[in-house]
Amino acid sequence: MKIKRADVEGSLGQYLENLLIRGVLGAALALPYQTRVRMMGWVMAHVVAPLAGYNRRVRENLAHVMPELPESEVKRLTRAVADNAGRTLIEIYSGVDFIDRMKDVTFEGPGVEIIEQARIARRPVILLTGHFGNYDVPRAALIAKGYDIGSLYNPMKNKFYNAHYVKAIGTIGQPLFPRGRKGYAKLLAHLKSGGMIGFLVDVYVHAGPILTFFGKPARTALSAAELALKYDALLVPIYGIRQPDGLTFRVQVEAPVPHGDPEMMTQALNDSLEAVTRQHMEQWFWIHRRWKPERLEDQLAEMAHAQDEAPEA
């Protein structure tokens, strides 16, 4: 098999990128927990985000959905979003230090008693969160309280980084299922046995229907809602909200989304995430490419062209 030069260069680039990440993480993990979390927030906000183009992406996303925001607020969010992302990264890598702190997390909201009763009855539950706060806090906090949580994750594009990232999130709790046919099959088995599973709702899915998030078109997978209907599972929005001290969390558990049309159920999940984000704007990952308007415009144009070319009935 012929090895392409581009593949070699790509692998080398990923390897070097991973070395840098490992170096920063290793230096941070040598520090006391509170110091490392604050330090990684600062490093992400003042060093990594400007160099990696994250600041530009935050500005583009905010301009796309909230062009009325004053410049002073855009500047604040640009820095605060990166700070939260840096804190989240090192928290996930902090292993036992992070897990120990999850034992004292406060749970609030109308869904708390509901998911507890579901656990006792072994009724399937699908937990939905987003790229918000620390998105692994709900899973870690529930596992610390004895809940049986399985989660679906997206493998990282950088294979070198992915290896230790999966190990880090696996340390927080098991089972974990990589996105794909085999992982999905194991996820379903866990759900059907009466376990709880977790999804991220705010992921752009090429083949997903066009729903809205912050009033703008956003392709969104219906899989969580469809599974809830198929297996009579509760569909529960849940969020790990960072507290003003920047170090502690509370978990907000919303009431289950009523069963009905899958698109309406999924839109309700988008609306729930939007509502909690509007209350804590700096905690959603505005770095995340949620809308991809340029790709959506091309897809809509292709759909319109196909309809124009279709023969009349």
Mind listing the pLDDT tens digit for each residue in 132-183? 999 999 999 999 999 999 887 777 777 877 778 888 887 888 888 887 888 8
Please check the confidence at residue 11 and state whether its pLDDT lies above 80: no
> Hey, where are the domains in the chain?
5-92, 98-292
What average pLDDT score do residues 284-290 get?
95
What average pLDDT score do residues 280-291 get?
96
Predicted confidence at residue 9, as pLDDT, reads 47
Predicted confidence at residue 152, as pLDDT, reads 79
Mind listing the pLDDT tens digit for each residue in 204-255? 998 899 999 999 999 999 999 999 999 999 999 999 999 999 999 999 999 9
End-to-end Cα spacing for the chain: 50
Which residue has better confidence, 194 or 262?
262
Secondary structure, 3-state, 79-144: HHHHHHHHHHHHHHCCCHHHHHHHCCCEEECCCHHHHHHHHHHCCCEEEEECCECCCCHHHHHHHH
Mind listing the pLDDT tens digit for each residue in 46-74? 999 999 899 999 999 999 999 999 999 99
Q: Are 95 and 140 in contact (CB under 8 A)?
A: no
Query: Which tokens in the block code for residue 155?
Result: 């493998």
Please check the confidence at residue 93 and state whether its pLDDT lies above 80: yes
Confidence class for position 298, pLDDT limits 50, 70, 90: low
CA separation, residue 214 to residues 140, 217, 269, 278 (Å): 28, 9, 12, 9
Please check the confidence at residue 1 and state whether its pLDDT lies above 80: no
Average pLDDT score, the chain: 89
Amino acid type, 274: E
Contacts 24+ apart (CB under 8 A), 252-256: 252/108, 252/109, 252/276, 253/107, 253/108, 253/109, 253/110, 253/111, 253/112, 253/114, 253/115, 254/109, 254/110, 254/111, 255/109, 255/110, 255/111, 255/114, 256/111, 256/114
Predicted confidence at residue 313, as pLDDT, reads 46
- Cis amide prior to 217 (ω within 30 degrees): no
Q: Lowest-pLDDT range, 31-35, 156-160, 191-195, 294-298?
A: 294-298
Predicted confidence at residue 299, as pLDDT, reads 60
What average pLDDT score do residues 90-98 get?
95
Predicted confidence at residue 302, as pLDDT, reads 57
Mind listing the pLDDT tens digit for each residue in 95-124? 999 999 999 999 999 999 999 999 999 999
What average pLDDT score do residues 12-36 get?
87
